[in-house]
Amino acid sequence: MSFVRLENVSVEFPIYQGSSRSLKKLLLATSTRGNLARDARDRVNVRALSGVSFELRSGDRFALVGANGAGKTTLLKVLAGVFEPTDGRIISHGHVTSLLDTSVGLNVDATGYENIILRGMYMGMHPREMAQRAPAIAEFTELGDYLEMPVRTYSAGMMVRLAFAISTCVAPDILVMDEWVSAGDARFLAKAQRRIEEFVRHSSILVLASHSLDLIEKWCSRGILLHHGQMLRIGPIEEVIASYRRLTEELTAMEEAQAAAE
Amino acid sequence: MAAWDSTAKDRLAPKGRWTRRGGHAIAPTVALFPGSDRGKRRDQELGAVGQVTQFEAISEPGTDRIFDFPAPSTRVRCAVADICDGFGQSWLWMRLAHQDLRLRYRGSILGPFWQTITTVILISSMGVIYAKLFRVELHDYLPMLTVGLISWVFVSGMITEGCGTFDSERNIIQQVKLPLSLHAYRLVYRNVLVLAHSFVIIPIVLIIFPHPIAWIRLLEIVPGMLLLMINGVAVSILLGMVCARFRDVPPIVASIVQVVFFLTPIFWPPTALGKNAWWALLNPLYAAIDVVRAPLLGIPTSPHSWTIMAIVTGINCVAAFMFFSRFRARIAFWV
C-alpha cells in the first residue's frame, strides 16, 4: 500500500545569477551601502510551485500536463524527494524510484553491465543483488552485446532502454518519470507500458510528466494541469487533456489578439 | 512480479517523523482571464479543483515521510537524520569511493599508484636538496619529510576536494533522494583509500633509514587518524556547501592551500624558526599533521597539537552542523 499526499505544497527558490553567486559581491554589499547592496539582493525568486495539493493512492497512473516552465519537473523532483517544499506538506509512503534523467548514475565511460551495478547502487541495491538481476535487465533492454560496450557509444534510445530497465528491475512503490522516456521507439514504449501496467496492478503509483498527449492518454488514468506553478485542473485524464488543449488554444488566441491590437 | 526487496527498502526508507505546524491557505482556483466570458467559463470549470482534492483520513502508522517547512526544530531533526542515515549506508559510500578511484584511473596500468610514484619522486628530490639546505642528516630528514608529505597530501586533498562535495555530485543530488552527508563520507573514504596507496612508502623509508620504533606510540595514530577523518567530514560538508553557493570560493581555497603548504612545518622543522617557533605551532594544519606524523616517527605527540586539534574539531563540527541544518534543503537548488 503506497500513497502520496501533497498539501498546499509550494516551492520557491532563488535563482543565483552571476553576481549574487559571487562572494566578493556579497561581502562588499554587506560592508558598503549603496549600489552594491542592490547587487546582492539582485536575486530573483522563482515560485516554481504554489499551493499544489493532491493525493495519489495505489494503482494510480497520474500525469502532469502543462506547458514548458509550468512546474512539472519541479513537482516531479518534489515527489522524488530531491526538492523539499518551502511551504506546505508532503506525506508519502513507499519507496520512490525516480527516472528524471537517463544519465543518473550512468557513467558514460563504463560498460552497460557496469552501469547496471552502478545505477543499482544509487537505488539502494547491493551490487550482489544487482548482479543477480543483471540477466533479466539485459533481456529487457534487448541490447545484447552492446552491454559490453561503454555507454558512450549508445544512442539516446538505447540509454533510455537501459535506464528504464534498471530502474524498474524491481517493482517500485512509486515511479516518478519525466518525459525523456518518449525517446524510446514504439516497440520499447509498448513494452515499457506493459511493465508499468503490471506494477500498477500490483499497487504501485506512476507519475509521468510529458508533452506527448498520446503517451499520456495511453499510460495514465488521472492527471493534473499545471500552469505557472499552479494547479489549473485535476481529474480524469481525458478532461485534463481537454483543458490543456483549451488552455493552449486560448493562450494562442490571446497572443494573436495582442499581436493584432499592436 | 518481484516484490520490492524488503531489506533494500528498509535501508532507504527515511526514518523519523515530522509533524505539521500552522496551516497554509492558498486558493487553488486561478482566474486566467477574469471579466471575459471565457474567463467565467474557466472559473466555473476550474472551481472543481478544490473538490477533487478532498483528503481522506489516512491511518497514521503508514506514513514515513513528512516534510513541513520552514520550522527550525524540523531542520535540526532532518539534519541529524541525514547525517545518521548517510553514515548507516556505509556499504554504499564505500563502494562508490572504490568506484570513483577505479574510474579515475581507468585505462592506466598503475592506477592509484601513480600518486604513490609522484610522492616518491617528490620525496627523493626534495629530501636530498633540503637536507643540504637545512644542513641536517638525510637519515633524520627523509622520514620526517616522507610522513609529513603523505599526511599533507591526505589533509589537503580532503580540503580541496571538499569544495566539490556537492557540486561534483549535482547529477545525483538533482535526481535521487539520498542523504547528502553520504557524499562527504564518500569523499573522506576515497581520500583514505588514496592515503593507503601512498602509505606503503613509509615502511620502506623507515627500513632504509632505520629508527627505533616505539610500538606503543604507534597506537597514537588511531585517535590521530580518527580526528582527521571527523574533521574531513565536517570540512567537506562546510566547504561543499559554501562552494556550491559561492562559485569563487574553490579557487580561493586552492590558492590558500598552496600557500599554507609552505607555511606549515612539513619539509622544514618548526625548530628552524628559532624563538619564533610558537607561531608555526598555532597553525591547525601543523597540528593535524603532527598527530599522524609523530606516532609514526616514534616521537611523542606534543600535548599542544592535541589541544589545537580538539579545538579545531569542535569548531569544525559545530559550524558544519549549524550550516548543514540551516541550509541542507537548499543544496539541491544550489548545485
Tell me whether A51 touches chain B (CB under 8 Å). yes
CB B30 to CB A53 under 8 A? no
Return the amino acid letter for B269: P
CB B172 to CB A3 under 8 A? no
Q: What is the mean pLDDT of residues B126-149?
A: 88
What is d(CA A46, CA A228) in angstroms, rounded to the nearest whole number? Answer: 10
Higher pLDDT, B301 or A38: B301
CB B173 to CB A234 under 8 A? no
Listed ranges A34-38, A105-109, B272-276, B330-334; the one with the highest mean pLDDT: B330-334
Tell me if B183 sits within 8 A of B257, measured CB to CB. Answer: no
Among B38, B46, B245, select the one facing A250 at the smallest CB separation. Answer: B38
Tell me if B166 sits within 8 A of B174, measured CB to CB. Answer: no
What is d(CA B163, CA A239) in angstroms, rounded to the nearest whole number? Answer: 49
Amino acid B47: pLDDT: 36
Tell me if B285 sits within 8 A of B231, measured CB to CB. Answer: no
- Pairing assessment for the beta strands A205-209 and A174-177 based on DSSP bridges: parallel
- Pairing assessment for the beta strands A87-93 and B65-68 based on DSSP bridges: antiparallel
What is d(CA B297, CA B290) in angstroms, rounded to the nearest whole number? Answer: 10
Chain A contact set for B3 (CB, 8 A) = 170-171, 202
Q: What are phi and psi of A158, to 5 degrees?
A: -70, -40
Q: What are phi and psi of A193, to 5 degrees?
A: -65, -40
- N-terminal to C-terminal alpha carbon distance within chain A: 56
Chain B contact set for A88 (CB, 8 A) = 24, 68-69
CB A91 to CB B99 under 8 A? no
* Calculated CA dihedral for residues A202, A208, A211, A216, nearest 10 degrees: 20
What is d(CA B272, CA B148) in angstroms, rounded to the nearest whole number? Answer: 16
* Interface residue of A1, A77, A95, A203 to substitute, partner B, most B CBs within 10 Å: A95
Higher pLDDT, A88 or A22: A88
pTM for this model (two decimals): 0.79
Q: Number of helices (H) and strands (E), helices first, in chain A?
A: 9, 9
Chain B contact set for A51 (CB, 8 A) = 24, 26-28
Tens digits of per-residue pLDDT, A125-179?
A: 888 888 898 888 998 888 888 888 888 888 888 888 888 888 888 878 888 888 7
Here the cell at position B102 is 577505479
List the single range of A56-60, A150-154, B2-6, B114-118 with lowest mean pLDDT: B2-6
Q: Give CA B301 to chain center in angstroms.
A: 25
Å from B331 to nearest chain A CA?
A: 9
Q: How confident is the model at residue B138 (pLDDT cuts 50, 70, 90)?
A: confident
Among A77, A93, A231, select the one facing B49 at the smallest CB separation. Answer: A231
Chain B contact set for A82 (CB, 8 A) = 173-177, 332
What is d(CA A49, CA B13) in angstroms, rounded to the nearest whole number? Answer: 25
Q: Is residue B1 over pLDDT 80?
A: no
Amino acid A105: pLDDT: 64
* Interface residue of B175, B182, B241, B327 to substitute, partner A, most A CBs within 10 Å: B175
Nearest to B233 by CA among B316, B326, B125: B316
Amino acid A204: pLDDT: 83
What is d(CA A92, CA A174) in angstroms, rounded to the nearest whole number? Answer: 9
Q: Is residue B24 over pLDDT 50?
A: no
Tens digits of per-residue pLDDT, B29-84?
A: 333 333 333 433 433 333 333 333 333 333 333 444 455 444 556 788 888 989 99
CB B45 to CB A121 under 8 A? no
Within 13 Å of residue A180, how many CA atoms lie on the same side as its CB? 20
* Calculated CA dihedral for residues A23, A28, A33, A34, nearest 10 degrees: -80
Among A13, A50, A247, select the one facing B26 at the smallest CB separation. Answer: A50
Nearest to A233 by CA among B53, B19, B21, B269: B53
Here the cell at position A73 is 519537473
Q: Is residue B229 over pLDDT 90?
A: yes
Chain B contact set for A231 (CB, 8 A) = 28, 30, 49
Nearest to A170 by CA among A209, A140, A208, A210: A140
Higher pLDDT, B9 or A104: A104
Q: What count of CB pairs under 8 Å joins A to B?
A: 183
Distances (CA, A) of B256 to B88, B209, B244, B261, B277: 34, 33, 18, 9, 21
Q: Is residue A10 over pLDDT 60?
A: yes
Q: What is the mean pLDDT of residues B221-243?
A: 94
Q: Which residues pair with A224 in a beta bridge?
A: A64, A234
User: Coil, strand, or helix at residue A44?
Assistant: strand
Amino acid B97: pLDDT: 92
* H-only helix segments in chain A: 23-31, 35-40, 72-80, 112-122, 127-141, 156-167, 186-201, 213-219, 237-261
Is B184 exposed, middle or buried, given 0-12, 13-18 or 19+ CB atoms closer than 10 A?
buried
What is d(CA B240, CA B170) in angstroms, rounded to the nearest whole number? Answer: 11
Q: How confident is the model at residue B285 (pLDDT cuts 50, 70, 90)?
A: very high
List the single range of A22-31, A244-253, B16-25 with lowest mean pLDDT: B16-25
What is d(CA B154, CA B189) in angstroms, rounded to the nearest whole number? Answer: 11
Tens digits of per-residue pLDDT, B250-280?
A: 999 999 999 999 988 888 888 778 888 777 8
Tell me if A55 sits within 8 A of A6, measured CB to CB. Answer: yes
Q: ipTM value, please give it.
A: 0.80
Nearest to A61 by CA among A188, A245, A244, A240: A240
